[in-house]
């Protein structure tokens, strides 16, 4: 690993690679141990070199956007966490089409659209994180997903190539994107919006209103589980008596049972235990296995199994 660090650092004079970097400040749940190595390249070229070298050396690589949908374990996370936080530019190609870096924050994009009188992404109001993370998980609400606005996506592939895909060549479904199967980094996307109409403001308000009913004030990562087909994970969790369950400082919100909150000093292991407890309760009472929406990065057993 020391040799890898030296190789990486000598190939990347413009990207600082740090060791033992605390991950909790980088994740909205405020938990997680330390990344053995951590880097946040500030250009796609530097990202390409870094990702390539790490893949060639068989170093475990974890791509981190805004950290609003991830849970790293406590302790040392072996390998390198590569953040997109410094890939954050937006370039308008036409009045309605932009090339947007993966690390561009979704709330900043919403603001930019509002200022330009553009619409189409009202459903994303209040979703934190980056565009890269949103595409990787097809983030959305109310039956809509970010994939609806995407024209093209540029990625760095595990074999070292840079690929540009038309959106038609990517498959998406509810909180799923085929780009997340296998190791790659989404580095930018071309997106097209539309000119806003007066009714778009009402639609936006209705999404914000719905957000207002969700827990706030304590750190969380949004919904813990995906909704099973034709059902609501929150409702199933509520009916299974999960509200208020806690492990250490991790607690299931009593406002919305699909939210796990960090009351202050939760450990990742507390949150993981609570996720498993909730999942087990729903399984025991309904026979339904909930699929986590949160991504568990860096755990020695990457499969979520109860
Ligand atoms: C309060 C709150 C409310 C939320 N509400 C919603 C909601 O309504 N709808 C919804 O869908 N989500 C919601 N979320 C979850 C989360 O905000 C989204 O999933 C978001 O899109 C994740 O983006 P991120 O940049 O934070 O990704 P991260 O959490 O950093 O990463 C998530 C996953 O994407 C991968 N990833 C990130 N960036 C890249 C990249 N550039 N290339 C390849 N892979 C990448 C990571 O490796 C990881 O597997 C909410 C979260 C919070 C905290």
pLDDT tens by residue, 221-266 = 999 999 999 999 999 999 999 999 999 999 999 999 999 999 999 9
Q: How confident is the model at residue 284 (pLDDT cuts 50, 70, 90)?
A: very high
Residue 35 has pLDDT above 50, yes or no: yes
| Phi–psi pair at 130, nearest 5 degrees | -110, 170
For the chain, strand residue ranges (E) read 17-22, 34-39, 61-64, 70-71, 76-83, 90-92, 97-101, 118-119, 140-141, 144-145, 150-157, 162-166, 172-173, 176-177, 184-192, 194-195, 246-247, 250-252, 260-262, 295-296
As a whole number, mean pLDDT of residues 173-196 equals 96
Among protein residues, the one with the nearest Cα to ligand 1's atom 21 is 134
Ligand 1 atom with the shortest distance to the CA of 220: 53
- CATH of 217-296 among 3.40.47.10, 2.40.50.140, 1.10.3720.10, 3.90.78.10: 3.90.78.10
Among protein residues, the one with the nearest Cα to ligand 1's atom 4 is 222
Tell me, in angstroms, the distance from the centre of ligand 1 to residue 130's CA.
7
Q: Which amino acids are annotated catalytic?
A: 175, 223, 293
Two domains, one topology: 90-200 and 217-296: no
* Closest C-alpha among 185, 155, 187 to residue 169: 155
Going from N- to C-terminal start, the domains of the chain cover: 2-83, 90-200, 217-296
Residue 17 has pLDDT above 50, yes or no: yes
As a whole number, mean pLDDT of residues 285-293 equals 97
Q: What is the pTM of this model?
A: 0.96
Residue 294 DSSP SS3: coil
Angle 287-289-290 from CA coordinates, rounded to 5°: 135
pLDDT at residue 305, rounded to an integer: 43
Among protein residues, the one with the nearest Cα to ligand 1's atom 49 is 295
Tell me, in angstroms, the distance from the centre of ligand 1 to residue 176's CA.
11
Share of the chain above pLDDT 70, in %: 97
Tell me, in angstroms, the distance from the centre of ligand 1 to residue 53's CA.
25
Ligand 1 atom with the shortest distance to the CA of 69: 29
Among protein residues, the one with the nearest Cα to ligand 1's atom 35 is 133
pLDDT at residue 193, rounded to an integer: 98
Please give the radius of gyration of the chain, using alpha carbons only, rounded to the nearest integer: 19
pLDDT at residue 12, rounded to an integer: 79
Task: Write down the CATH number for the domain with range 90-200.
Answer: 3.30.465.10
Tell me, in angstroms, the distance from the centre of ligand 1 to residue 47's CA.
20
Task: Enumerate residues 6+ apart whose C-beta is below 8 A from 26.
Answer: 32, 64, 67, 83
Among protein residues, the one with the nearest Cα to ligand 1's atom 6 is 127
Q: Sheet containing 34-39: give its strands across.
A: 17-22, 34-39, 76-83, 61-64
Q: Helix, strand, coil shares of the chain as percentages rounded to 5?
A: 30, 30, 40
Contacts of 295-299 with CB under 8 Å at 24 or more apart are 295/69, 295/70, 295/71, 295/137, 296/70, 296/71, 296/272, 297/62, 297/64, 297/70, 297/71, 297/72, 297/77, 298/60, 298/62, 298/72, 298/73, 298/77, 298/78, 298/79, 299/73, 299/272
Q: Considering only residues 254 and 303, tell me which one the structure prediction assigns the higher pLDDT.
A: 254
pLDDT at residue 306, rounded to an integer: 37
Q: Give the architecture (CATH level 2) of 2-83.
A: 2-Layer Sandwich (3.30)
Distance CA 36, CA 117 (A): 44
Distance CA 98, CA 116 (A): 12
Report the pocket of ligand 1 as residue ranges, CB < 6 Å. Answer: 28, 63-70, 84, 102, 127-130, 132-134, 136-137, 139-141, 175, 185-186, 220-222, 295
As a whole number, mean pLDDT of residues 49-55 equals 93
Residue in 69, 81, 138 to alter for ligand 1 test, most ligand atoms within 8 A of Cβ: 69
Tell me, in angstroms, the distance from the centre of ligand 1 to residue 6's CA.
31
Distance CA 196, CA 194 (A): 6
């Amino acid at each position: 690993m020391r040799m890898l660090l030296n190789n990486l650092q000598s190939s990347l004079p413009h990207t600082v690679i740090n060791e033992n970097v605390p991950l909790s400040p980088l994740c909205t749940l405020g938990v997680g141990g330390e990344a053995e190595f951590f880097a946040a390249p500030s250009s796609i070229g530097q990202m390409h070199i870094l990702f390539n070298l790490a893949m060639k050396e068989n170093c475990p690589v974890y791509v981190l956007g805004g950290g609003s949908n991830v849970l790293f374990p406590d302790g040392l996370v072996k390998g390198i966490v590569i953040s997109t936080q410094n890939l954050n530019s937006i370039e308008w190609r036409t009045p309605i089409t932009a090339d947007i870096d993966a690390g561009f924050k979704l709330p900043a994009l919403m603001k930019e659209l509002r200022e330009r009188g553009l619409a189409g992404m009202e459903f994303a109001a209040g979703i934190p994180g980056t565009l890269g993370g949103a595409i990787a998980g097809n983030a959305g609400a109310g039956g809509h997903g970010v994939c609806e606005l995407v024209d093209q996506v540029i990625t760095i592939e595990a074999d070292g190539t840079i690929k540009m895909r038309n959106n038609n060549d990517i498959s998406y479904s509810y909180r799923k994107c085929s780009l997340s199967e296998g190791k790659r980094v989404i580095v930018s996307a071309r997106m097209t919006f539309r000119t806003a109409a007066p009714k778009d403001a009402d639609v936006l308000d209705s999404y914000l209103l719905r957000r207002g009913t969700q827990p706030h004030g304590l750190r969380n990562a949004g919904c813990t589980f995906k909704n099973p087909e034709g059902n609501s994970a929150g409702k199933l969790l509520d009916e299974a008596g999960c509200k208020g369950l806690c492990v250490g400082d991790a607690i299931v919100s009593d406002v919305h049972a699909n939210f796990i909150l960090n009351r202050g000093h939760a450990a990742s292991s507390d949150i993981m235990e609570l996720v498993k407890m909730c999942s087990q309760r729903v399984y025991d009472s309904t026979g339904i296995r909930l699929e986590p929406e949160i991504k568990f990065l860096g755990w020695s057993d990457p499969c979520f199994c109860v």
